[in-house]
Amino acid sequence: MSFFYNGNDDHTASPISDPFLDALVSLSSDDPTVFTGANALKNSDVFAAIRIIASDIASSPISSSNVTLQNLLNLKPNNLMDAWHFKFALVVNMLLNGNSFAEIIKDSNSKVSALNFIPNSEMTVTQDDSTGKLTYNYTPINRTKRLIAPESILHFRYFTQDGITGLSPLYALHDELKIQHLGNNMLSGFFANGIQGTGILKVHQTQLDKSAKKNIRDKFEDANSGSLRTIVLDDDMDYSTLEVNTDILKLVNSNDWSTRQIAKVFGLPPEKLGVENEHSSNEQSNLLYLQNTLGHYFDVFTSELAAKLTGSFEFNTDELLSVDPETQQSLAVKGIQGGILTINEAREKLGLNSVTGGDEIMASLNYTPLSNLVVYQDFKENKGAVTDETGQTVNN
């Protein structure tokens, strides 16, 4: 049983061969397993949503207990890509197709030496109906077809019904994208007709057949559409414009419903797609975005990495949580004063070098356990003498 296929068995070479652009793929039918090339990604809201999520994940370093793998994931996973574009391409494919793939390459000592990105157009995954075993069929363009063992493939998928097959968020946006497309076509058609919009051209003292009317209409529109131009008419012609209901155009132009739906499906705060959000501040929205959206995407990657590779993995989100320099410095000072950060830890967050003696936790004398206050009060009242547990005075 095959559950991923590219819908095109001839593997005609694409004019776009750059690995980064090959990652930009899009659904073109109601079937969530069918995709086309990068030229299908024409919706600006979808492009922006995927760009934001993919960029944020690609910009977040991955910490690992395995130093070799950490360097591969953060520096150069293979000979063709740097780490940023490698992670970006994986996220783009996962969001648009529901699945993304990378092959684990090992050296003669069975140690991981590279992670090769595989475009979805070159991968077909089959599952045996009786055993449930997965088979990854790799069909690179103009190269030899081969099978890859499941343990040698990093297979990332987010939304899934069976834990194996990933579904794209675009599958849930079929109707919304169609509505947005129709609205954009209405605006495009209006502006394409120039300032005249829809009008009536009357030709006096003659009977015109269908072909003649079409010919006069086409020539008139060709001469006067698109830009501010002076209309020149013969004596036997009159032109009048029909009133256009601009309220409809305003509604189409100001309607942000489909944009909000796209943001909702991808888990983005609406303001990241240019829609005003009246119910929360930017700080609250960014925190919710990190916790409720990026956190889940991070888990998709770290769980697959931990399952197929040796070591533990975690995304570093410091850059995503970074604030303006003044606020960042204030938080660092509060961390030192509260005994949470050492001086050097706070300086590291500010991008400063460590200093001698800066590795100790600082504590304020203004904070002390309540029991110490009793001893201190007795000390003051007895002028240097305090009592022990039995109430006997002990000279200090």
**pLDDT 10s digits, 127-164:** 888 888 899 999 998 889 999 999 999 999 999 988 88
Higher pLDDT, 309 or 222: 309
Residue 322: both structure tokens together: 């970074």
Q: How many residues does the chain have?
A: 396
Position of tokens 């356990």? 369
Query: What CA–CA distance (Å, rounded) separates 59 from 304?
Result: 19
Higher pLDDT, 351 or 87: 87
Give the helix/strand (H/E) hosting 193: none
> Could you report the per-residue pLDDT of 263-297, keeping only the tens digit for each?
989 999 888 888 877 666 767 778 888 989 999 99
- Which residues, at least 6 apart from 67, have a Cβ–Cβ distance to it below 8 Å? none
Domain range list for the chain: 1-171+261-322, 175-254, 325-381
pLDDT at 33: 42
Alpha-carbon distances, residue 325 vs 141, 244, 349 (angstroms): 49, 52, 11
Give the closest residue to 34 by CA, choosing from 45, 25, 43.
25
pLDDT at 42: 67
Residue 144: both structure tokens together: 């030899």
Q: Is the pLDDT of residue 247 over 60?
A: no
Of the pLDDT bands very low, low, confident and very high (cuts 50, 70, 90), residue 28 is very low
Strand-pair partners of 123: 138
- Identify each DSSP E strand in 278-391 by its residue range: 313-315, 385-387
Of the pLDDT bands very low, low, confident and very high (cuts 50, 70, 90), residue 195 is very low
Query: What CA–CA distance (Å, rounded) separates 22 from 38?
Result: 6
pLDDT at 319: 77
Question: Which of 29-38, 112-121, 237-246, 359-368 has the lowest average pLDDT?
Answer: 29-38
Instruction: Average the pLDDT over 244-258 and give the result.
Output: 59
Quote the percentage of the chain above a pLDDT of 70.
Answer: 67
pLDDT at 212: 80
> Could you report the per-residue pLDDT of 301-347, keeping only the tens digit for each?
999 999 999 999 999 987 777 666 777 788 888 888 888 889 898 88
**Which range is most confident: 109-118, 357-366, 382-391?**
109-118
| Helix/strand number for the chain, H first, E second | 13, 16
User: Taking all residues of the chain, what is their mean pLDDT, rounded to a whole number?
Assistant: 77
pLDDT at 230: 64
**Can you spell out the DSSP letters for 286-317?**
HHHHIIIIIHHHHHHHHHHHHHHSSS-EEE--
Query: What CA–CA distance (Å, rounded) separates 316 from 298?
Result: 10
What is the gyration radius of the CA atoms in the chain, in angstroms? Answer: 32
Question: Which of 117-121, 124-128, 195-199 has the lowest average pLDDT?
Answer: 195-199
Q: Is the pLDDT of residue 35 over 50?
A: no
Q: Is the pLDDT of residue 103 over 70?
A: yes
- CB-based contact 41:24 (threshold 8 Å): yes
Residue 118: both structure tokens together: 């595989």
Instruction: Average the pLDDT over 43-62 and give the result.
Output: 92
Give the closest residue to 168 by CA, choosing from 34, 9, 23.
34
